[in-house]
Amino acid sequence: MDASTLRAAQAPLKDRYRSDPPSARTPTTATGDYRTPDVTATIDGYTGPVRAGLHPATGGDGGDACSADLLLQAVLACAGVTLRAVATAMDVEVRSARLRADGWWDARGTLGIDREAPVGVQDIVVTLALDTDADDAALGRLATATERYCVVGRSLAQPPEIRVVRA
């Protein structure tokens, strides 16, 4: 997709959202259940079910997806798609890319053994290594815009509300 095709696809949407801001509020949903008796949750994904479980640092055997890995994968997927859309809109050619997300988490916080230890993935760094002829200024604009428009990254600024209800 080139910049003009992207603009053409987005123009009617942008016009509608400008004239009718409430129509831009878009629902999204994830579903899952407890399909297995282990300490896991199976989440329905686009490519099939993903079984999430405990990381070996918290008592798991390493056979299930860890929530921290899933979080980094979601951030990386969002940043990767966002950067590609921004690069397309800016007419910045990206021949190829290597995408990586890194972070760390403290098992003491997750296991509840130290209330001072943080719970959650900390110091997340997303690195998007591009094969491009773009200059450093353009790379800086790509980074700024990607950080600004990455939905998953922005969503991390506020923890989700967790509700537990009777089925």
Question: What is the dihedral sign for C-alpha 108, 112, 114, 117?
Answer: positive
What are 92-103's pLDDT values in tens digits?
999 999 999 999
What are 19-60's pLDDT values in tens digits?
999 999 999 999 999 999 899 999 999 999 999 999 999 999
Indicate the pTM of the whole model: 0.88
pLDDT over 90 at 158, yes or no? no
Contact between 93 and 42 under an 8 Å Cβ cutoff? The reply is no
Domain positions in the chain: 3-155
Q: Backbone phi, then psi, for 46, in 5-degree steps?
A: -65, -30
pLDDT score for 37: 86
Question: DSSP labels for 17-85?
Answer: HHH-GGGG-------EE--SSSSEEEEEETTEEEEEE--GGGT--S-SEEHHHHHHHHHHHHHHHHHHH
What are 75-132's pLDDT values in tens digits?
999 999 999 999 999 999 999 999 999 999 999 999 999 999 999 999 999 999 999 9
CATH of the domain spanning 3-155: 3.30.300.20
